[in-house]
Amino acid sequence: MPVNLPTNLLRSFVAIVDTGSMLHASERVYVSQSALSLQIKRLEELLQQALFHREGRRLTLTPSGELMLDYARKVLSIHDEAVAAVAAGHFTGPARIGMVQDFAEMLLSGLLARFAELHPEAQLYSRVAGTAELLGQLERRQLDIVLGFAANNDPNAIASAPMAWYGKPELALQDTVQLAVLEPPCRFREAAIRALEDAGRSYRISVETPNLTALRAAVDAGLGLTCRTHLFLREQPLVEPGLPALPNVSCILQTAPGLDGPTSQLAKLAREVVATL
C-alpha cells in the first residue's frame, strides 16, 4: 500500500529547514515545539528514514532529508495552488444553464460571454427550450440553472413583465383575430387564447412554429398577432380598444441544490441581469 504523507507534516518539515530552528518553525506553523518534534518523528516513521542529523539543538539534513525536501516543496506548491484555484472559483465545469428563447439572444451574447471571460477554463453548456422542458431537466439534474416564465405569483419570480399584443394594427380590427403562436406548451399562447375567448372574440391560428425567430418574422410580415413581453420586440406593443387585456408574467430563476462557487456565481449574474430587463 502507498504511504500517505499528511501535508501538515510536510509543511512543518519545510518550515524547520527554512527557519533553521524548531523554535522559529513552531511560530511559522502555529504549533508548539513539542508537537513539532512529534510531527517530524511521525514523518520519519512513515518514510522509515531519518530526515535530520541531531547534534544538540542543531539540525542538519540527512541525504534522505535533502531528497525529501525537494519533493515536499513540490507537493506543497501544487497543494496550495489547488486550494487557491478552488477558492478563487476556477473550475473545469460544466456549468449547465437553460433558458427560454426570449432570453437567449440577449443572454448568450452578454451573460454567458461574460461568464466565459471570468472562467476561461470552464465548460459551459446552455440549452434553449420551453420552460416546462427546462424545469423537467432541472428536476432530473440535467441542468443547474433555469431561466423561464411562470405565473405572475410564482415564488421563484425575480421580475414581472406585462404581456402585450404585438403585430400590425389592422389585424386587430378584423372580425376574426389571426394569431401567430409558438407550439404548446406555451404560456403566452395560452394567455392569448384565454383572453380572446373571455372577451368573446373569435380567432384563428394562422402561424404556429416552435421557433421564436420564425414567430417574429411572421409577426413582422403581418401574418398574425402574437402575445409576448417587451423582450420579444423592441417597438411599442399594440394598444387597440378591441384587444382584451393580458396578465403579467413572471420571469423565474430556479437552481439545483448545492451549486459550486462558479455555477452559483453564474446564477447570481443571471438573476441580476434578468431583474433589470
Local structure of 207: helix, strand or coil: strand
More confident residue, 1 or 193: 193
pLDDT tops 80 at residue 1: no
CATH for 48 = 1.10.10.10
Mean pLDDT of the region 122-147:
88
- Tell me, yes or no, whether 220 lies in a domain: yes
Report the C-alpha gap between 198 and 188 in whole angstroms. Answer: 15
Could you report the per-residue pLDDT of 40-67, keeping only the tens digit for each? Answer: 999 999 999 999 988 777 788 999 999 9
Q: In the predicted model, what is the mean pLDDT of residues 206-220?
A: 91
Report the amino acid identity of residue 239. V
**Domain count along the chain:** 3
In angstroms, rounded to a whole number, what is the distance separating the alpha carbons of residues 17 and 62?
Answer: 12
Does 182 share its domain with 120? no
Cell digits of residue 241:
380598444
* CATH number where 121 lies: 3.40.190.10
Among 25, 53, 87, the domain boundary falls at 87
Domain enclosing residue 183, as ranges = 164-246
Is the per-residue pLDDT at 232 higher than 80? no
Residues sharing a CB contact under 8 Å with residue 36, sequence separation 6 or more, in sequence order: 12, 16, 22, 25, 26, 29
Residue 150's DSSP bridge partners are: 250
Residues 240 and 266 in one domain: no
The mean pLDDT of the chain is 85
Q: Is residue 238 part of a domain?
A: yes
Beta bridge partners of 41: none
pTM for the full model?
Answer: 0.61
Collapsed DSSP state (helix, strand, coil) of residue 110: coil
Asked if the model's pLDDT at residue 90 lies above 60, the reply is no
Continuous H helices in 140-245: 187-198, 212-220
